[in-house]
Amino acid sequence: MNDPRLIVKVGQFSLKNPVLTASGTFGFAREYNRLFPVSALGGIAAKGLTVQPRAGNPPPRLVETPSGLINAIGLQNPGLTAFLQQELPFLRELGTAVIVNIAGFTIDEFAHLASVLDGETGITALEVNISCPNVKKGGMAFGIHPEAAARVTRTVREATSLPVWVKLSPNVTAITEIAQAVEEAGADAITLINTLPGMAIDIKNRRPVLGNISGGLSGPAVKPVALHHLWQVYKAVKIPIVGMGGISTPEDALEFIMAGATAVAVGTAMFHDPYTPLKIINGLSGYLDVEQVGRVEDLIGIAHKKDGLD
């Protein structure tokens, strides 16, 4: 499984392979670590973390749609203190890259999260969530204006020496402007996409299905949208991009890599098949064999080159 051809560099550090899990779909890795060795993955992104514990949104929080899932979890998490005491010690021992996803409701909260986590060992990078559609204030508001996105990025950058990844929202008119703004503000990498707003109505009860009324759509249904955002952002920035949104197969992952992703993350597909990330890792090695490509890094952004294979 340890195929050196799959090693990718995201900024300063290397991942053993380009396959991560997406924040919020993998908890703090405990559950899926009982089904397979999480150490086989390139890395994991932990559930979105806030300064204070959060109870999350009222149920129902999930609704399935054609090849998709709408969730309105509402950033339920144990808060920073409990994370440091109960979850981080476990994450440190996983044997894979640990991405801590942070969400603030104010700029100060982002700064606080970043500076406290800066003092901790075992964290590979911070993923700054400025794109959560499921909380009333903060969350996505920081992700839809280039200046606000840059301000959050700069604040986190100044508060920590850890690599800073900024997670972008697809719910914007010009994603490239946001991407350039966070790059300029010091982001080491961009991750995209977070979920798209969506809803469903229960025609028996004549009410929205979700307790929160609306939620975020993910899964195979959003893949083409994610890929297009990635394509545009790749052209607009120089920093590495971690792509996600509906990735479910090795072929999906290859599409993202060819569109410009240095690494990919698997989210909703975990629910369809918990072994998805392992299958993608194997599938990538298989593709390199069959297509006689030296390293997966040789494929990053290759679809942008005019002289593709005929």
Ligand X SMILES: Cc1cc2nc3c(=O)[nH]c(=O)nc-3n(C[C@H](O)[C@H](O)[C@H](O)COP(=O)(O)O)c2cc1C
Residues with a known catalytic role = 132
Q: Does 218 bind ligand X (CB under 6 A)?
A: yes
Q: Does 202 bind another protein (CB under 8 A)?
A: no
Report the residue number, 72 or 237, with the smaller CB distance to ligand X. Answer: 72
Q: Name beta bridge partners: 217.
A: 70, 196
Are the beta carbons of 5 and 285 closer than 8 angstroms?
yes
Helices (H) and strands (E) in the chain, counts: 9, 16
- Site size with ligand X, rule: CB under 6 A: 27
Q: Does 133 bind another protein (CB under 8 A)?
A: no
Q: Does 26 bind another protein (CB under 8 A)?
A: yes
Q: Does 25 bind ligand X (CB under 6 A)?
A: yes
Report the residue number, 73 or 113, with the smaller CB distance to ligand X. Answer: 73
Q: In degrees, to the nearest 5, what angle opens at C-alpha 13 toward C-alphas 12 and 18?
A: 125
Among 18, 43, 68, 146, binds another protein (CB under 8 A): 68
Report the residue number, 23 or 180, with the smaller CB distance to ligand X. Answer: 23
Q: What are phi and psi of 139, to 5 degrees?
A: 50, -120
Compute the distance between CA of residue 244 and CA of residue 267 in angstroms, rounded to an integer.
8
- Residue 141 identity: A
Are the beta carbons of 146 and 178 closer than 8 angstroms?
yes
Q: Does 46 bind ligand X (CB under 6 A)?
A: no
Site for ligand X in 50-109 (CB under 6 A): 69, 71, 73, 75, 101
Compute the distance between CA of residue 233 and CA of residue 185 in angstroms, rounded to an integer.
16
Q: Does 22 bind ligand X (CB under 6 A)?
A: yes
Compute the distance between CA of residue 253 and CA of residue 19 in angstroms, rounded to an integer.
8
For the bound state, the minimum distance from the C-beta of residue 58 to another protein, rounded and expressed in Å, comes to 8
Compute the distance between CA of residue 73 and CA of residue 83 in angstroms, rounded to an integer.
18
Report the residue number, 82 or 295, with the smaller CB distance to ligand X. Answer: 82
Among 17, 23, 124, 180, binds ligand X (CB under 6 A): 23
Site for another protein in 265-284 (CB under 8 A): 268, 270-275
